[in-house]
Amino acid sequence: MSENIKKIRVRFAPSPTGYLHIGGLRTALYNYLFARKNKGVFALRIEDTDQKRFVEGAVENLIKALSQTGLSWNEGVYEKSQISNLKSKTIAESKTYPGIIEAGEFGPYVQSERLELYKKYAEQLVADGKAYYCFCEPQRLEEMRERQQKEKRSPMYDRYCLNNVSPEQINEKLKENCSATIRLKVPKDEIIEFDDLVRGKISFNTNTIDDQVLFKSDGYPTYHLANVVDDHLMEITQVIRGEEWLPSTPKHILLYRAFGWQEPQFAHIPLLLNADKSKLSKRQGDVAVEDYIKKGYLKDAIVNFVVMLGWNPGEGSTQEIFSMEELIEKFELTKVHKAGAVFDIKKLDWINGQYIKKLSDEELLQNALPFFEQKEFFAKAAADKKTGEYLKKVLTIEKERLAKFADVGDENQFFFQDISYDKEMLRWKTNTDDEIVQSLQKSQTTLNAITENNWSLVEIEKNLLIAAGDKRGDLLWPLRMALTGAQKSPSPFECAWVLGKIEAIKRIENAIEMWQ
């Protein structure tokens, strides 16, 4: 990159309101990939100016979710000078927590620690004639909005304080500490036009833009002022954010111009939608990243799924599984769609299943064990059914059909507990009682002939198929039922292999006794 070209700097700037939304993860991911692709900086900023929505522990939840999904930032959340002010000891006491850096001129910020800075910039705009003080009380503003709505006009501030309060009155009110906000003086009859990196050329008429409050009477900036000031000071070159922020963009551009600052490029990525095309919300299912991690979705699968909610590699590519390195190489904002992206849980299940199949036996066990330990059937299982080697055999069979680790063992509880079933379930088609017993005895003899040392899936399948001959159903159906007590299960070869010789023979004998 030429020294004359400004270094790419992007940021993810969530509000600490509870958890990391799947949509938030996608925004973070697109910023991360764009930065990595262009050898730039991916910064993390906590936007906590709306103290009414602040949720205790939310910052930690956000950081944990990003870390769990493998998104690391070049610049951390807090400057070291701020660590003593943190509400959470978890981060403050951590000596190795990722993202804590030396305080610097363009370091990452927590907005609530920078209130005087925002006040200074808001007052600068007033001094330059680009903003003004507003002393209107909430009651007057409400009456004004109600009147405008009755007249079928868009609710907008009527500039009463700009047009009717003299400079002398302003100074007097400020001396008396009257409650006041600072509003942006939006120029009229102008067109704000910009090239969105996803949506192309977009324009707004300033007559549709309200005189936005920049600084509130409680001493906090609004999102608009803090966002623009911080993006400028952090030298952000591209603002990549959700489509819901598109109406705010002309307000931000007006602020950049009021300050005389170079505005960044903007990219607004599509909304995430439910299957019915409504906006993705918790009312119709889980939307927090942590919910999916708790259900046993792998972080790589979550990232792989989320990146494709609104993006694809293009050029007729049918590839659906990507490593992070491949995503960094292929990601381009020009390939992000304009239309909303439907969140399809079945697609996530399929992608997660693909990643599960690639895991080694040891990785399968490490991921699955915490979920096994939450199951009642596992807690009641015999000790020999809880060993690592036994669980690896169960997982070897389950991984081909497993969508997420929260489901481990659920459909195959017969591997962990005694079984019971109606003996009629052993009957294959029109087989007589004697034929059922003879079939079970043949399976018993066949499996008995396999030594413990040769007890392998290959050996079991080979010998049972030889014994079955042309009438596989006659042999294998009663055997499957005897081993599992379930009409749907893995193959009888797999079930026998997992259960082990002693347990498999025992269950066959129990089935035979049911007919005697």
What tokens were used for 1? Answer: 């990159």
Q: Residue 39: count other Cβ atoms within 10 Å of its Cβ.
A: 9
* Annotated active-site residue in 80, 282, 338, 462: 282
Extended beta strands in 111-150, E state: 131-134
Contact in structure between 412 and 490 (CB atoms under 8 Å) = yes
Residue 104 in contact with residue 219, Cβ under 8 Å? Answer: no
Which residues, in sequence order, are CB contacts of 295 under 8 Å at separation 6+?
A: 286, 404, 405, 406
Contact in structure between 190 and 258 (CB atoms under 8 Å): no
Q: Are strands 341-342 and 272-273 parallel, antiparallel or unpaired?
A: parallel
> Which residues contact residue 506 at a Cβ distance below 8 angstroms, ignoring those fewer than 6 apart?
none
Tokens of 373: 């330990």
C-beta separation of 75 from 107 below 8 A? yes
The reply to whether 282 belongs to the active site is yes
Q: Two tokens at 203?
A: 């324009």
Give CA separation, 226 vs 242, 264, 458, in Å: 18, 15, 66
- Residue 268: phi, psi to the nearest 5? -110, 115
Place of tokens 């969508």: 403
Query: Would you please indicate which residues are annotated as catalytic (active-site) residues?
Result: 282
